[in-house]
Chain A
Amino acid sequence: MDDRVILRVGAKILTPYILLFALYVQFHGDFGPGGGFQAGVIFAAGFVLYGLIYGLENVREVLPPSVVQFCAAFGVALFAGVGVVTMLLGANFLEYGVLAHDPEHGQHYGILLVELGVLITVFGVMVAIFYSFAGRREFRE
């Protein structure tokens, strides 16, 4: 795709804004529509766009498959880990109120952490699936 200047330049300009928008969706989820699932997909879309235009090799250099697979597992572990921590602090599984002195602040920390876990897993899963499909095609050709 070396000759498609508009696509290359367009993708380069758009990618950072897509990633930024994903973070906005993530952290604005408390006030409006949004959250970990949507943000994870949008964050993955930024890398998928980069991979489609600049080739799988380049995007794999930026984001190695091992990191992506680690992300997919780490998000679930973070989510469940928050639950284990609240249990160790003497509350029920995923009862965030004990994470801080003020239960309302504890709820905020808990929601922030589990939404981050969802973001990381969804992002990792989407990119991992994209890598495995696109990588197989590259190999066959």
Chain B
Amino acid sequence: MSILVGISLLALLAVAALALVRLRNLFAVAMMAGIYSLLSASLFVVMDAVDVAFTEAAVGAGISTILMLAAMSLVGHEAKPRTRPAILPLFVVLITGAALVYGTLDVPPYGNADNPVHQHVAPHYIQESGHEIGVPNIVTSVLASYRGYDTMGETAVVFTAAVAVLLLMASGPKRREEEAEPITEEERDG
């Protein structure tokens, strides 16, 4: 049953990805990207990774879609029509895809208990976190305690993103406000 669900979700993901490539209306693109994220989240639920699914649904399908829509209000609703076929991007995508498929040949079977990932620190986390940390959700124990340093780095990355956006977006209007001149049509376009 879970194989059937997995295959259906992956097929829907492929359909959403193709639709994303074909669509030229950016509003539809933003919505389709949200649907893509929601499908990924469902896939993570099928794989029993509920914490990851939760994050994907909240960040990917939720707030990213809002931010895309907010960005779209600056750049307009239609993508520019493509004048010539994009050979180089297609080439790059095909090479990358082929490399990834080649990489999966060496990946151990999904869910196998003998996989290296289940032999290293995972048994310790599963057996010891109950009395070492005392938190029922092992994901929280790993994220906040065993791997706390990583999580601090992630938080710093999120903070850096805000700094970058504020530097890029906030500087323009402020300078113009200081000049206190009404914007003419030319300035706005140029």
Contact = CB atoms under 8 A, between A and B. Distances in A.
Q: Name A's interface SS.
A: helix
Interface residues of B, number: 49
A63 to B, nearest CB: 15
Given A35-B51, A111-B135, A118 B155 contact: yes
A72 B154 CA distance: 13
Interface in B152-190: 152, 154-156, 158-159, 161-162, 165-166, 169-170, 172-173, 176-177, 183, 188
A98 interface: no
Contacts of B134: 104, 107-108
Given A30-B137, A33-B50, A38 B55 contact: yes
B62 interface: yes
A121 B161 contact: no
Interface residues of A, number: 52
Interface of B: 50-51, 53-55, 58-59, 62-63, 66-67, 70-71, 73-74, 131-137, 139-141, 143-145, 148-149, 151-152, 154-156, 158-159, 161-162, 165-166, 169-170, 172-173, 176-177, 183, 188
